[in-house]
Amino acid sequence: MDTKMHNISAIELSSLIKTKKLSVVEVVKSYLDLIEKTDRNYNAFVSVSGEMALNRAAILQKQIESGVVLSPLFGVPIAVKDNISTTGIETTCSSKILSGYTPVYNATVVDKLEKAGMIIVGKLNMDEFAMGGSSETGINGPVRNPWDISRVAGGSSGGSAAAVACGEITLSLGSDTGGSIRQPCSFCGVTGIKPTYGSVSRYGLIAYASSLDQIGPIGKNINDCAAMLSIISGPDDKDSTCIINEPFHFRFDDLGDLNGIKIGIPRNYFENGIDKDVKQAVLAAANELESAGAELIEFDMPLMDIMIPAYYVIACAEASSNLSRYDGMKYGYRSPDAKTLNEVYRASRSEGFGLEVKRRIMLGSFVLSSGYYDAFYGKALQARTHIINAYNNLFDRFDMIISPVAPTTAYHIGENIDDPMKMYLGDIYTVSVNLAGLPAVALPCGFDESGLPIGFQLIGRAFSEEKLINAARVYQHRVNWHEYKAEYGEEKEYADSSSRSKLG
């Protein structure tokens, strides 16, 4: 197994494949070997499709030999979150209720990736139905942070971030409903993009909250993520909420500058409840962007007190509706003890759903119930409109906003699982982006005193991905936080949090 190929970016790896310095089969075998030898430490994967991946690699290698090249990521192995449908590969959302469910169709993003010559090697662990912020609530057990396996990887796309951080895969797909791409990226020290709502098809993404969910890429650096976003974005007749007219196109040969770019800094994000190390690292990132030519302008983020309540009322209401289809009748788990139709419904759902999913279904059903709809759900929708309007006003003043992703670094597994309110408050910096349907990029910007990664996010106006990605490229060109990795390998049980090594 050549571990050097696991240290380079996805774009570089594809270049080596296309110039025939590496074969597609050789690359896929190397990643499959590493997953087999190390994933017992991280629990990032829930399934590995080795035979299917190798068969596809052989087909793609023939295309290379015949001169067919389809994308900047041709031949690159990837993995996808377990809530994205894949033909012939079990897709469970890390839930017992969907055990044994194998889709007969691909998600649109999967079709686009395969058309571009990429290879899916497996499905990635997550919080059950993407409900959680630590990747602890799924039936497959917690995802472990590659920097310290006693700590969480973040959620709900914890497996997607951890697999990239430990080198088991170079690119992955996650989904972001209230920060579920950005927060794991921050905890694991990798890069991710939460695209504008409506820019990437949700067809085949098993729904949690339909007006908030968005698929996005996670990778080693912003160029890899941008290349993947250019592939998966674009219109889709199967998804009426996908309103973009054509895929994003990003340039990789010309590094722009930040002259004339105005970046807002919400001062009230840095006042209470944020770790000292996180505050210092994010402010240092802001100063680096200022050194690159940007103008920093402080302001007070409005409506902070309503962001979390509005998000959880809307998300849980939509979840209670979306998850009503899992009844033990059509697919997935059915209780063996049920004798009557009512018992099938009641027992299958009681046994098939985990505690966090049940909690959110019950909350969602309550806020949608007669007598409470206007008082809770209706008010949350009004609050959402105010949040959207507030962001529109802010982007009349700024090109983008910089903020922390999470108030803390990764905490210990089990530390917050019995305190849902504390878990929910950890989303304070991320949920408003989903409520407003905005794009954001998450980037590593340092480490805390325990050696755990810290991340920040850049938030922009809808469909301003190109501007955000350029700012991220400028930042990653000036600093090298994204080049540090957690150590991995079959000889080392896990990466000690004080031990870091650089890519390359």
Query: How is residue 259 written in tokens?
Result: 């002259």
Is residue 151 within 8 A of residue 412, CB to CB? The reply is yes
Nearest to 5 by CA among 21, 19, 18: 21
Does residue 180 have an active-site annotation?
yes
Q: Where are the alpha helices (DSSP H) in 400-457?
A: 420-425, 431-435
> In the chain, what is the straight-line distance between the N-terminal and C-terminal CA atoms, in Å?
17
Query: How is residue 499 written in tokens?
Result: 């031990």
DSSP 143-176: -EETTEEEEE--SSSHHHHHHHHTTS-SEEEEE-
Query: How is residue 96 written in tokens?
Result: 């017992």
Is residue 22 within 8 A of residue 47, CB to CB? The reply is no
Give the number of other Cβ atoms within 10 Å of residue 381's Cβ. 14
Out of 134, 180, 201, 320, the active site residue is 180
Does residue 134 have an active-site annotation?
no
| Per-residue DSSP letter, 411 | P
> Who contacts 19 (Cβ-Cβ below 8 Å, separation ≥6)?
none
Q: Most distant CA pair in the chain: distance in Å?
A: 69
3-state secondary structure of 405: coil
Instruction: Report the C-alpha gap between 484 and 501 in whole angstroms.
Output: 6
DSSP 380-404: HHHHHHHHHHHHHHHTTT-SEEEEE
Is residue 176 within 8 A of residue 157, CB to CB? The reply is yes
3-state secondary structure of 241: coil
Q: Where are the alpha helices (DSSP H) in 66-157?
A: 108-115
Nearest to 501 by CA among 195, 493, 489, 490: 489
Out of 94, 156, 160, 175, the active site residue is 156
57 conformational bin, left if phi > 0, alpha if psi -120 to 50, beta if neither: alpha
> Who contacts 366 (Cβ-Cβ below 8 Å, separation ≥6)?
372, 376
Pairing of strands 262-266, 400-404: parallel
Looking at the DSSP assignment, which residues form a beta bridge with residue 351? none
Strands (E), 208-261: 215-219
Is residue 350 within 8 A of residue 92, CB to CB? The reply is no
Out of 30, 71, 81, 186, the active site residue is 81
Does residue 81 have an active-site annotation?
yes
Residues labelled as active-site residues: 81, 156, 180
